[in-house]
Amino acid sequence: TPSVIDQMNLHQLAPITGTKVYMNLGEPDLIGKYKDLPFDGIGLMRTEFIFTHLVGAHPMYLLRNGEEKQFIDKMAEGITKVAQDVYPKPVVVRLSDFRSNEFRGLKGGEEVEPIEANPMIGWRGVSRYISPEYEEGFRLECRAIKKVREDYGLINVWTMLPFVRTTWEVKRVKEIMAEEGLIQDQQFKIWIMAEVPSVIFEAEEFAKMVDGFSIGSNDLTQLVLGSDRDSGILNTMGYFDERNPAVKKAIKMLIQGAHKHNKSVSICGQGPSLYPEFTEFLIQEGIDSVSVNPDTVAGTRRLVASVEQRMIMNKIREL
């Protein structure tokens, strides 16, 4: 049995918070290393590693060669590993968000991917899912999710749609998901990422269609500030900064719009993993959860607890 001191440390490590603290996960196998950290769920499970390392080939190429079962099985296997280890905590699986230049690098990719001048704002995220050139690939992704939820009973697996720009594409994606048996209900949640400014401006319209939002602060910062996140020179000059007032204003608008419709807002970009004062801002604005890198989970939980405590004390003083 742990000593009183150990118990105190454990308690300090994982205080109960109103705002949930989720963890970002890049590779399924890493869950073994991090599963005992004090997180409330996986707020961003990336699937790109599954494509590049576990499947290793472009889904459309596999389809063309009749090898799509391999894709579904591998993707389901990666997600199952994580969902089993953290059950019953939720695992928010972000469906593929490769850019065409990245997809070209996969086996068979050069045959099926176009060359785009600006892939960062090109054919990526959900715009792929509804296009004749990738819809079948997206259906395989849906089947992998369905397999995990139904064959293995891991109903803690939710989905998140990346790089959403318009309401009509979300409508179409949801139709395809429903055709594949992924129907939004109490048990199955569909979140969208808020990373394109149109989602901020139209937050209330999007809120009517989905269960929640997760802010992709990397892309949102890039697009609000018109500053390429990969530009070394702009970065050293301080242009790319999540704490810019324009980005913060966008986040505030999103939270207000989503909450009007009782929909949740999370964040899974790097912002809160990098800057405690940014996390503090998010909590003060009433964000429902923050998803951070494994090395900042414990510290973020302590920070969230102390900010919440201060907010409660201030409220009491106002009475």
* Bridge partners, 158 (sequence order): 92
Alpha-helix runs per DSSP H in the chain: 4-13, 31-34, 48-49, 59-64, 68-86, 100-103, 109-112, 126-129, 135-151, 167-179, 197-201, 203-207, 217-225, 232-236, 245-260, 271-274, 276-284, 297-318
Residue 162: phi and psi, rounded to 5, are: -90, 155
Q: Among residues 48, 43, 141, which one has the least CA distance to residue 86?
A: 43
Q: What DSSP string runs through 185-232? A: SSS--EEEEE-SHHHHHTHHHHHTTSSEEEE-HHHHHHHHHT--TT-H
- In whole angstroms, the minimum distance from the beta carbon of 97 to Mg ion comes to 6
Nearer CB in complex with ligand PEP: 163/188 = 163
Distance CA 179, CA 206 (A): 21
Closest contact distance (angstroms) between CB of 94 and ligand PEP is 8
Q: Which does 68 bind (CB under 5 to 8 A by kind): ligand PEP, Mg ion, none?
A: none
From 9-17, 26-34, 190-198, 311-319, give the range in contact with Mg ion by CB under 5 A. Answer: 190-198
- When the beta carbons of 78 and 269 are compared against ligand PEP, the nearer one is 269
Q: How far is the CB of 120 from ligand PEP (least distance, A)?
A: 9
The DSSP bridge partners found for residue 23 are: 42, 292
Query: Of residues 21-80, which lie at the interface with Mg ion (CB under 5 A)?
Result: none
Closest CA to 119 of 105, 130, 132: 105
From the list 67-75, 211-219, 236-244, 307-315, the region that binds Mg ion by CB under 5 A is 211-219
Residue 268 interacting partner from Mg ion, ligand PEP, none (CB closer than 5 to 8 Å by kind): ligand PEP
Taking the least distance from each CB to ligand PEP, the nearer of 169 and 242 is 242
Per CB under 6 A, residues contacting ligand PEP are 97, 195, 216-219, 268-269
Contact 287, 268 (CB under 8 A): no
Q: Is 137 in the site for Mg ion (CB under 5 A)?
A: no
**How far apart are CB 219 and ligand PEP at their closest, in Å?**
3
Q: Provide the minimum distance between the beta carbon of 132 and ligand PEP in the complex, in angstroms, as a whole number.
A: 25
> Is 172 or 229 the residue whose CB approaches Mg ion more closely?
229
Q: Judged by CB, which is closer to ligand PEP: 274, or 298?
A: 274
Residue 66 C-alpha from the chain's centroid: 30
| Smallest distance, Mg ion to C-beta of residue 163, A | 6
SS3 140: helix
Q: Which residues of 77-107 are buried (b: 16+ CB within 10 A; e: fewer)?
A: bbbbbbbbbbeebbbbbbbbbbbbbbbbebe
Distance CA 268, CA 296 (A): 13
Q: Which of 174, 229 has the CB closer to Mg ion?
A: 229
As measured in angstroms, the least distance from the Cβ of 291 to Mg ion is: 13
Write the CB contacts of 277 (distance below 8 Å, at least 6 apart in sequence): 243
Regarding 216 and contact with Mg ion (CB under 5 A), the answer is: yes
Partner touching 217 among Mg ion, ligand PEP, none, CB below 5 to 8 Å by kind:
ligand PEP
Binding segment for Mg ion (CB under 5 A), chosen from 182-190, 209-217, 271-279, 292-300, is 209-217
Pick the binder of Mg ion from 113, 141, 219, 288 (CB under 5 A): 219
Smallest distance from Mg ion to CB 279, Å: 19
Residues that bind Mg ion (CB under 5 A): 195, 216, 219
